Amino acid sequence: MTTAIVGATLIDGTGADPLHGAGVVIDDAGRIVDVGANVAPPRDAVVRDAGGRTLMPGMIDCHVHLYGRVGPLQERLLTPPSLALFYGARNALRTLDAGITTVRDAGGSPAGFKMAIERGLIPGPRMRIAIAMLSQTGGHGDSTMPSGAVTGVRAGPEWPEHVVDGPDEVRRAVRALLRAGADFIKLASTGGVLSPSDEPAHTAFTPEEIRVMVYEARAAGKTCMAHAQGADGIRNAVEAGVESIEHGIYLDDALIEEMKRRRNFLVPTLVAPMWVLRHAERSPGSVLPQAVRKTKDVMEAHRANFARAAAAGVRIAMGTDSGVGHHGSNAEELEQMVAAGLTPMQAIVASTKTASECLHLQHEIGTLERGKLADLLIVDGDPLADIAVLRDPARLALIMQAGRAHKDALA
Ligand SMILES: [Zn+2]
């Protein structure tokens, strides 16, 4: 069955000016066969009228943890992994309900979870997964508490060991993650905010260890993403060939130039520190006291350096670190990007076209162009006039993945 949507204001994700009175034609394989101002639906097409609403690509979040949830420590200790799976399924649904049709899971979700969504067993965004974040002993991904208790242990072939030291252990860990189905290799090249025993500015892993990860990932046709906050750790990651820098808090001018030259992606996750403070306020005990202090230390630099990197022309891909924040509130990140100086159109491109490039899915999704999959939204409102309309699920009249409607409230 061919479906056509007409009478829309088209924001195609490329950054081109919006087109009024536009539409899209989608074939029965869920691919776009025509899009633009003068679409001519075939005679047998089901034609839907968007009534002047905005037609745009489904949004892509390049950094989520669908298995993740910040909550009281006791609650986390009392959650068996099989229960966490069902929370993960709920998080996936909330994310898709928010108009996020594709995500990159930066650690936590195993391959079977992605497969369940691909097979239609549970609704959720299309996934690319890292499975786990490689971390050195005592680094950002080492959840050994000072008491000796370890939170969130996962094991077995689906969750290979991720706290590793030295080139040989690192090599084995990357290969085990690839065997378990990782699409990206995630590493922590610096400390972080939520971890118990390091600082965001601390450097983690040696350049040699990171080069091993990049080599092994590339050997399998994959790339690396680095949780990287301090300048030295960002530099180590970039120079070793890591493609995507997550958070990037202490970026300096030299790093910004280097990232531009290498065409690295910056995934800023501006909402993540905001959520750490919200949790601390709303639910005392849900984040470690040092995490609150560290968040306050980094917030100003985070925003300022993101704004400098974006203004300088570093490729920005939208990511939220949801799991730290509530799943389903992802589009708040676009508001924060605009507050930091991006135009609404730039925030949309970061959440569509550039995000698809960051996920290596630019040939399938990210823009509304002929031949791509019909991952799209119809939004009641003009996000170019008010980016906040994207955060209101009630305004999402249609949420479509590969031509299939997840939500259809188009009258
Ligand atoms: Zn994260």
For the stretch 198-207, pLDDT in tens is 889 899 999 9
pLDDT at 285: 81
**Which homologous superfamily is 59-358 in?**
Metal-dependent hydrolases (3.20.20.140)
pLDDT at 193: 87
Question: Is the model's pLDDT at 152 over the cut of 90?
Answer: no
Contact 368, 55 (CB under 8 A): yes
pLDDT at 153: 65
Contact 34, 370 (CB under 8 A): yes
What is the layout of strands, in order, in the sheet containing 265-267? 133-134, 184-188, 223-228, 244-247, 265-267, 315-316
User: DSSP class of residue 232?
Assistant: H
Residues near 43 by beta carbon (within 8 Å), at least 6 away in sequence: none
pLDDT above 70 covers a percentage of the chain that reads 100
Distance from Cα 73 to the centre of ligand 1, integer Å: 18
Question: Is the model's pLDDT at 233 over the cut of 70?
Answer: yes
Distance from Cα 63 to the centre of ligand 1, integer Å: 6
Distance from Cα 373 to the centre of ligand 1, integer Å: 27
Q: What is the pLDDT of residues 25-58, one digit of tens each?
A: 999 999 999 999 989 999 999 999 999 999 999 9
pLDDT above 90 covers a percentage of the chain that reads 85
Distance from Cα 381 to the centre of ligand 1, integer Å: 31
Contact 116, 122 (CB under 8 A): yes
Distance from Cα 106 to the centre of ligand 1, integer Å: 6
Longest dimension (CA), the chain: 69
Would you place residue 70 in the very low, low, confident or very high pLDDT band (cuts 50, 70, 90)? confident
Distance from Cα 274 to the centre of ligand 1, integer Å: 14
Residue 7 corresponds to which amino acid?
G
Q: What is the token pair recorded at 56? A: 């745009």
CATH 3.20.20.140 residue ranges in the chain?
59-358
Q: What is the pLDDT of residues 273-307, one digit of tens each?
A: 999 999 999 988 888 888 889 999 899 999 999 99
Q: What is the pLDDT of residues 362-404, one digit of tens each?
A: 999 999 999 999 999 999 999 999 999 999 999 999 999 999 9
Distance from Cα 229 to the centre of ligand 1, integer Å: 12
Q: What is the pLDDT of residues 99-119, one digit of tens each?
A: 999 999 999 999 999 999 999
Distance between CA atoms of residues 125 and 133, nearest Å: 21
Whole-prediction pTM: 0.97
Beta bridge partners of 5: 24, 48
Distance from Cα 24 to the centre of ligand 1, integer Å: 35
Distance from Cα 4 to the centre of ligand 1, integer Å: 38
Distance between CA atoms of residues 287 and 116, nearest Å: 31
Distance from Cα 82 to the centre of ligand 1, integer Å: 21
Beta bridge partners of 265: 244, 315
- 314 or 294, which is more confident? 314
CATH of domain 3-58+366-408: 2.30.40.10
Distance from Cα 53 to the centre of ligand 1, integer Å: 34
Contact 60, 333 (CB under 8 A): no
User: DSSP class of residue 152?
Assistant: S
Q: What is the mean pLDDT of residues 136-155?
A: 85
Distance from Cα 191 to the centre of ligand 1, integer Å: 12
Helix (H) or strand (E) holding 91: helix 81-97
Q: What is the token pair recorded at 7? A: 């009478």
Return the CA Rg of the chain.
Answer: 21
Distance from Cα 328 to the centre of ligand 1, integer Å: 15
CATH 2.30.40.10 residue ranges in the chain?
3-58+366-408
